[in-house]
Structure 1
Amino acid sequence: RPLRDPHNAVCPDFWDAVFDGHRQALVNDGTAASEEAAVELLVARWKERNEQEKEAWDRDHPQNEEPQAQPRAPSPAVAEPGDGRNLPVPRTAVPKGPVFAPAAVGVPPPKSLDAPPSQHAQNKLKAGQYVQLWYFTPEGIQEATSTLYSGREEAVTLEREDSALVLSTNSGSKKAVDDEHLTWNQVSLARSTFLTWASTYRWPEDHTDMLARFWFNLDVHPLRAKEGGDRACVVYQARMRRLWHQSLDGPSPFDLSIIDDGILERIAQDL
């Protein structure tokens, strides 16, 4: 339910830099063929939502249709039969059809049907936040593919928070697996996809290089040759990568690529 009169709402400028990631997300997942088409789609969705909010507002505030305040209606005991002057005039619902972006005549289709990671994972990368590696495993990509082509996933929607319209995206997959419970093979397959998409969302090169060295140093660590070594490396990379993300916002960031053999050995002993 809108908190402010949506009749006075102004459509956001979707070319503004704050919407860069949302335009690119629509292009990346094939929803829009270009950034221009993405802006047109966002504007169309905003207008559709605004019209729905106007109707809801008018239903909840029928007195707004009266040019002046009307006197209090007489009690049923003294009201004249059939006198409906004090009743609000009902609005007639106007059927609405679906809202489409303008037809992109002459724009060729995407050159491949390769699915990106889920929109949830892309949003995490765009914000520079920790995201589970599972979304970049073959299983995670397959899940993103099935939702993308089945139409179950909306890449971007408009929601109201307090008094403002904000862009919102779907939440994470219920099938997602915590990093500690992946196999080392899944980690190895996921990391290259993760780094590719982190670069797509303009993560600093020194950060992506550090992550690449981190996984490589674990990949060649001698502990992997021992029984339970792979499991220990999986748990180590899960805990240390999460801790590294937390440290980036604090006073004590550290070099993730330096493997702490003592911690790694303790993890192996505890498993």
Structure 2
Amino acid sequence: MENPNLALQPDFTTEEYQEARLHLINDVVNDQQAANILASLWVLNNNKDKLNWQARKEREAQRVQDEAEQAEEERVELQRRRLEEAETARAEERKKNRVKHAPIRKVGVPSGPVDIPSPYTTRKLKKGEYCELYFFTNLGLAEAESLNPSVDDEALMLLKANNGQHVWVPASTTRDKSSVIKDEDLTWEQFGEATVRLISAMKENDWEEERVEMHIDFWTAIEAHPWRRSPRTHLKKALLLYQSQQRQRWH
């Protein structure tokens, strides 16, 4: 279909359209009026063609956009799978060559301020459970520091234990997570703050060395991944989301 917006209206008074005019000429319609009728009909049909043309172009544009979005989603999913496969391969390689991946202990550095997480966070770490990185960011530690341990020290809360039994626990060891920032919504600066502190907290709470080293290798790979420095925000967020999901699978 040619673009009707570029079509030129014919001259219906010419000899070329004489036969068409003859079909319209009668006692009340003369030759000029017949030409005018043909011109009006052409305009009506051309306007209809213009509307159809516009609708067709809009459908084509939407189809192109949908295909581009689908291709981008498939590319991101493929990259995610490759990242997961690479992480699995690295984990297998670490198991086979544990000595090779043993960390080289560095000399000590001057001691600084002690980071004290909230009682809720400490309880999760002692049990070896998944803990959001938020609690080890500057913001999360500042929130923990603002808590007054003298308030409701003896307050208790009823919780369901792993064995299905309900037990009373100190309210200070529970947490309303509505204000907690999810891992995928952290800034990269906050991610860097939290991972270093969480590694130290794992060691302080007697986590198995292999589990600690697994986290160190994993976060090092995340920091070194090309998406980490991509100008595309959604790729950076996908990387943070992946690390959160992967860590939760380990618990």
Give the TM-score normalised by structure 2: 0.46
| Higher share in helix | 2
Give the TM-score normalised by structure 1: 0.43
